[in-house]
Amino acid sequence: MVPTGMMKASCKHQMIGSHQFLNLSKWIFFISSILCLILASQLAFAESTVTPTFEIKEVFVDNDTDTFSETGLITQISPGVIIKSNGAKADFSMSYILDVTRSHDLERSDRESHRLDLTSEYRHQPEWTSYARAQNRLTNGDIDGVQSTNPDIIDENSEQLFTFDIGTTYAARLSREIQYSAGLQLDYADQQDSDSSSGQEVAFTLDNYISENILTWGGLVQSRFSESDDDSERIDVLQVTFNYNYDQTLSSYVELGRIQTDSSDLDENRALVGFRWSPTRQSFVSAGIGRLGDDETYEFGASITRARSQFTARYSETIEAVRDQLFDEQDDGFSESTQTSTSIEPILRKRGDIAATFFGVRSAITFSAFYENESNPDIGDDQKTTGGEVEYNRQLSPRSSLSLSALTQETEFTEDGTLDEYTVSYQKSTSAKAEFEVFASYETFDSTDDTDEYDQTSVGAVYRIAF
């Protein structure tokens, strides 16, 4: 897909370097330096691979907005490199991609985007693991007076987001039937033209889930402290869970807890009752209902696998800081939010998704829907996103396939909008490390702000290769 561009006059190109790459807190720098030294000593004897990558994309765009129409070409060249090292006790991976985008006969800017991802893990002992992760996103463009609804397109000459987190976890048995774990995480986030923020989280769990008792129990104590240049917030969680196991497939549970924040509107007691049914190793269904303060709360999860179908669903309600999603979204599998924020304000986040996939001999079709609602009592407005998608994939030959998709998404906040997108693409592998793709898409956006509405048709081709 090509980011939608609805740009007005812009001819001046400015390159603003990563001059704030970044003043990390001394404790993060100190701990990460120690971890890097340990990793370096281990990785010196590790098995390593270096994989250069290259992608070139050419797209014809026909774009209509409330104020103008345009037709032209977009060229994108994306060199990159992936480095992986694996040792007996340590793993390391790094990926870097440079996107150079040039427009022809379009009222949108040229730009360069840099994406750097670093991940490392060190296994001190079988019970003790530490990790460090860093991400940097930097975009430079010649864009004065940008009109856009796409978050990938920025309205200033430069935009940068840097995140870093480091943590350690120790998990072991206290006895034959009781196990525990303790974890520590330190993190830092900086977004250009926004306050930088840091966070510290400690967590401890104790349970006897490994036992074969009819009655099992578990406890969680967690405290997270976040601070920015002019504010600080704390979220403390105390939770106890009791499970009654009827047999190996069916159990019920009662969950009691207390969530305390610096915002009195989100200081809540939590009580939940539910069940979990696991008829096979590959399938389960769980559901719970209860109270979160004065309101009802729900949770749900399911994964059912059959010979030619698969069904998954999940729904949860959590109290967390807005910025926490920067660090957990790459692990929890939920769709990434369309808004990036380093705010430390606590919010009530409700989110869920559901998907059903049906498999044929050479084809598969997936129906999915998603929902997310963020409530901030201090602001009063909810930000809600709902949508659904249908995807169809067919294997035409051992090296080629056809994909069709239709997506609709509605957003309600300060501005309400509906995005509809239809895409068809053909992919063919020309070798073990190279592939070619041609695609066509139609995208429309309707908004309560007429100046943000657009209709865009795109036809393009992409060639990707790894060396």
What local confidence, expressed as pLDDT, does residue 180 receive? 96
What local confidence, expressed as pLDDT, does residue 379 receive? 61
Residue 413 main-chain phi, psi, to 5 deg = -160, -135
What local confidence, expressed as pLDDT, does residue 366 receive? 97
pTM: 0.79
What local confidence, expressed as pLDDT, does residue 231 receive? 81
pLDDT in tens, 415-444: 788 999 999 999 999 998 999 999 999 999
Which residues in the chain land under pLDDT 70?
A: 1-46, 140-158, 193, 263-264, 328-342, 377-380
The tally of CA atoms less than 13 A away on the side-chain side of residue 289 is 1
pLDDT in tens, 151-161: 344 444 567 78
What local confidence, expressed as pLDDT, does residue 70 receive? 87
What local confidence, expressed as pLDDT, does residue 383 receive? 84
What local confidence, expressed as pLDDT, does residue 112 receive? 83
